[in-house]
Amino acid sequence: MTRNTPRNTPRNTRPNTRNTPTASRKTRRKFWMAILPLLLVALLGSDADDPLDTYDDPAPINPVQMQMIQTAPQPYSGGEDVVGKSAESIEPNPKLDVEAFISKDGRKGWKVKLERELPLATPAVVSGKLYIGGGFASYEFYAMDAVSGKPLWLFHCGDDGPTAAVVERGCVAFNTESCILYVLDAKTGKKYWGRWLGDPLMSQPAIKGDRIVMAYPDQRGGHSLSCMGLKDGEEHWTQPIPGEVISTPVIEGNKVYATTLEGSVHCFDLASGKKYYSKEQQATSAPWIWQGEVYVSLREDEERIVGGEAKTVRTEGQGRITKSGERDNDALWAKQDADYLNVDRSSKYAAEQAALDASVGFSSAPSEAKLGQGEANLGVASVSGIWAYQGSRPTIINGVSYTSMGDTLKALNAASGKVLWKRRIKVKDSPGGRPFSPPSYASGKLYLGAVSGEIICLDAKNGKELWRYDCGEPVRFQPAIAQGRIYWGTDRGSVFCLEARDAEVDGWLMWGGNAQHNYTP
């Protein structure tokens, strides 16, 4: 799995087992995990400094750290590989069953079952098309008709684990967990370019204009945040960061924001890469940017006497970070106990995550993943868990901050931090993990995906529950909302579409609402 070139077995000579990990594949991955650090030490020398200590005088980024697979758009003639003899190919009109249904209250919908029962991220729905990866450990990325569910094309990736899709300027971008960033033509699926970045990739990219931003483990044992040309992959700038980005970089105005696994908050200039600040804050979610300030969930540990014994209790609340990178609310807003930030090793969901990691050769995660950071700060100790992690990320709409914290959805005045309302969301038969997703917003309503298999709609003004739809399969990622329909993926490899009761709802087109992951109505 850890490699810097795509596989070179022609598709028409491969057995039909592309999704079944083999012993040799796992062995190759473990071999490179073991040998690469030794080679790097020999080539680059030993440097154990904390990345946070090197920001003001970073070592130059070697261009070979990001290795191009293909930079130019490639013509596609039916049935042939897009890039020479690599494993990548486009399959027009893939055969998938589309099941139409009508809900109990009379709304029309459809369901598409993908090739494998794997956890799916939030789909992107733009210009009448839906884009979604085949799930952690899959090699497939799909485009479908957003109205009918008809599969339009399938891009076979050179590596596994496509993230949530991001669509902008006629391009659809995503990265695989191992280890490639792709940019495709959103209409045809033709590849503009792909770049091997590092293994594993556990966050998704962000796009604004003609630039795409992505985090990756570099070949010096650290992590980097890089800005590249959307259609040509040209590197504009690269900055070191202390670990993997939580969920995704976020772009607002001319700045790029990110939080990293160990909890620090970062801000860079989108055009030049100039660092404005990097501050340790114990952040537990991706940031939301409103009026130039960062809103983010933060962790605080408290020492308490519980049952006559001293115990460390984790708590979480919302923090506000100023334009200079300083926290300006001394007491966290909407603070509550946060047992969900403790490591879960006993639930059904924890077992599923361990099995997913093992299926792609991560029975023991590589040092590059820096899972120790995620375990210590977020309570997440698996690659698939970080890949799917969304946390208590705020969604700020019209001056109100909405956040899913444990089993409670809260609405706060974003200026003062005052809690306007809160609702405990009842979820049945939870297999573990967070009970429901961060909220999506459209036309005065909030939409949640729940592990009970339900999509839950609430009034954004007061939190009143308006309706639920039970699809029968766990949902962890927030849904997309476009042109009067709701779209979501499940942990069992299904894609759903359901008419909303309000035919005018629209605008939350992908994870975070837009390609910058910072939606404004």
Structural domains in the chain, CATH included, are 11-499 (2.130.10.10)
In this prediction, residue 19 has a pLDDT band, given cuts at 50, 70 and 90, of very low
- Residue 34: which H helix or E strand, with range? helix 23-44
Q: What is the mean pLDDT of residues 294-306?
A: 96
Pairing verdict, β 400-405 and 395-397: antiparallel
Q: What is the mean pLDDT of residues 21-25?
A: 40
Backbone angles phi, psi at 189, to 5 degrees: 85, 0
* Residue 59 in this model has a pLDDT that exceeds 70: no
Q: Say if residues 368 and 200 touch (Cβ distance below 8 Å).
A: yes
- pLDDT at position 375 is 94
In this prediction, residue 86 has a pLDDT band, given cuts at 50, 70 and 90, of low
Count of other CB atoms within 10 angstroms of residue 359: 18
In this prediction, residue 441 has a pLDDT band, given cuts at 50, 70 and 90, of very high
What is the dihedral sign for C-alpha 449, 450, 452, 458?
Answer: negative
* Residue 161 in this model has a pLDDT that exceeds 80: yes
Per residue in 407-439, pLDDT tens?
999 999 999 999 999 999 999 989 999 999 999
* Residue 377 in this model has a pLDDT that exceeds 50: yes
The tokens for 415 are 């200026």
* Residue 48 in this model has a pLDDT that exceeds 60: no
* Residue 349 in this model has a pLDDT that exceeds 80: yes
* Residue 313 in this model has a pLDDT that exceeds 80: yes
Q: What is the mean pLDDT of residues 138-161?
A: 97
In this prediction, residue 513 has a pLDDT band, given cuts at 50, 70 and 90, of very high
Angle at 282 between CA 269 and CA 135, to 5 degrees: 75
Query: Which of 164, 191, 241 minimizes the C-alpha distance to 71?
Result: 191
* Residue 36 in this model has a pLDDT that exceeds 50: no
- pLDDT at position 367 is 80
Question: Going by C-beta distance under 8 Å and a sequence separation of 6 or more, which residues neighbour residue 43?
Answer: none
* Residue 347 in this model has a pLDDT that exceeds 90: yes
Spatial distance between the Cα atoms of 260 and 292, rounded to a whole number of angstroms: 20
Residue holding tokens 């993943």?
A: 369
Per-range mean pLDDT, top range of 71-75, 116-120, 215-219:
116-120
- pLDDT at position 360 is 87
- pLDDT at position 285 is 98
Residue holding tokens 């090739």?
A: 115
- pLDDT at position 69 is 40
- pLDDT at position 47 is 38
* Residue 63 in this model has a pLDDT that exceeds 70: no
Buried b (16+ CB within 10 A) or exposed e, 105-131: eebebbbbbbbbebbbbbbbbbeebbb
Please write down the long-range contacts of 408-414, taking CB distance under 8 Å and 24 or more positions apart: 408/336, 409/436, 409/439, 409/446, 409/448, 409/458, 409/463, 410/334, 411/460, 411/463, 412/318, 412/333, 412/334, 414/290, 414/295
Q: What is the mean pLDDT of residues 135-146?
A: 96
Mean pLDDT of the chain: 86
- What percentage of the chain has pLDDT greater than the value 70? 83
Range from 59-63, 133-137, 333-337, 463-467 carrying the lowest mean pLDDT: 59-63
Range from 7-21, 34-48, 58-72, 310-324 carrying the lowest mean pLDDT: 7-21
The tokens for 418 are 């005052």
Spatial distance between the Cα atoms of 276 and 269, rounded to a whole number of angstroms: 7
- What percentage of the chain has pLDDT greater than the value 90? 78
What is the dihedral sign for C-alpha 440, 442, 444, 450?
Answer: negative
- DSSP secondary structure letters along 335-389: EEE-GGGSPP-SSHHHHHHHHHHHHTT-SS--GGG-HHHHHHHHS--SHHHHHH-
Per residue in 180-211, pLDDT tens?
999 999 999 999 999 999 999 999 999 999 99
Say which residue, 390 or 76, is predicted with more confidence.
390
- pLDDT at position 25 is 42
In this prediction, residue 78 has a pLDDT band, given cuts at 50, 70 and 90, of very low
Buried b (16+ CB within 10 A) or exposed e, 188-206: ebbbbbbbbbbbbbbbbbb
